[in-house]
Amino acid sequence: MRAYDNMIKDLKRITEEEMLKNWALAEIASIRRRKYLGEALPPEILKKSQEGNYEFSEQEWQQLTAMIRNFRSPLLDGLLMLKMEWYEGVLPAAELTKLQIMNWPPFVDLSGSRKLIDLAKAFLRGEMPPKHPEFAENLEILRKDFGISCMRGKPIIVSQGEQPPYILVEGFTRLSAMMMNMLEGKTYEANLPIILGVSKRLSEWNYA
């Protein structure tokens, strides 16, 4: 598979299970989300993540992927029905400006263009999704010391084919923090590791 117009590079096919593990890792590593997982995961897994230990047994990974299937079912159920092809790759930081956002009303209301860069501009103006105060708090925390190498779990992008739009599905807080910093003059030299899902049926997804 060729790189998408040289935007996403070094593509390597992965399984659906590997994608789910990645999404679960991002969820458990998020301080904002972790506190909601007490009823969904054993305390041993939560303790590991709180200590920065993300080495899990196969049984623990099964519990984590079951958790993400449950917690993210509104997004995942529709995607998995489309028999997505999943890939790992890298995205140059400068290409973040080309990403669109999924059709989630609280974000689309702030960025009618559905461009990540315009959503980040709204955040810089102090406009935040209503009824989600923790998002705004976590966004400011991340902005202060955001580093690509410190990320747990790769952001997830989906596409219908080899042409845009490339839609961001998972990683909004992290990539918004990164984009806000870039808009204020900070540069990131490293490539951003991502996961890409591809399906010609993507238009059938409720959030496309």
Give CA–CA dist 118/100, Å, rounded.
9
Give CA–CA dist 23/14, Å, rounded.
13
DSSP β-bridge partners for residue 70: none
- Whether 4 is covered by a domain: the verdict is no
Q: How many domains does the chain have?
A: 1
- Whether 112 is covered by a domain: the verdict is yes
Domain that holds residue 79: 9-204
- Whether 39 is covered by a domain: the verdict is yes
- Whether 31 is covered by a domain: the verdict is yes
- Whether 3 is covered by a domain: the verdict is no
Q: What mean pLDDT is predicted for residues 100-114?
A: 96
Confidence of residue 150 (pLDDT cuts 50, 70, 90): confident
- Whether 185 is covered by a domain: the verdict is yes
Give CA–CA dist 189/203, Å, rounded.
33
The tokens describing 145, both together, are: 């010391």
State the amino acid at position 108 in one-letter form.
V
pLDDT in tens, 65-76: 999 999 999 999
Q: What pTM was estimated for this model as a whole? A: 0.93
- Whether 1 is covered by a domain: the verdict is no
Least confident of 32-36, 39-43, 109-113, 138-142: 32-36
Confidence of residue 110 (pLDDT cuts 50, 70, 90): very high
DSSP β-bridge partners for residue 1: none
pLDDT in tens, 167-201: 999 999 999 999 999 999 999 988 999 999 999 99
**9, pLDDT greater than 60:** yes
Which burial class, exposed, middle or buried, applies to 155 when counting CB atoms under 10 A from its CB (0-12, 13-18, 19+)? buried
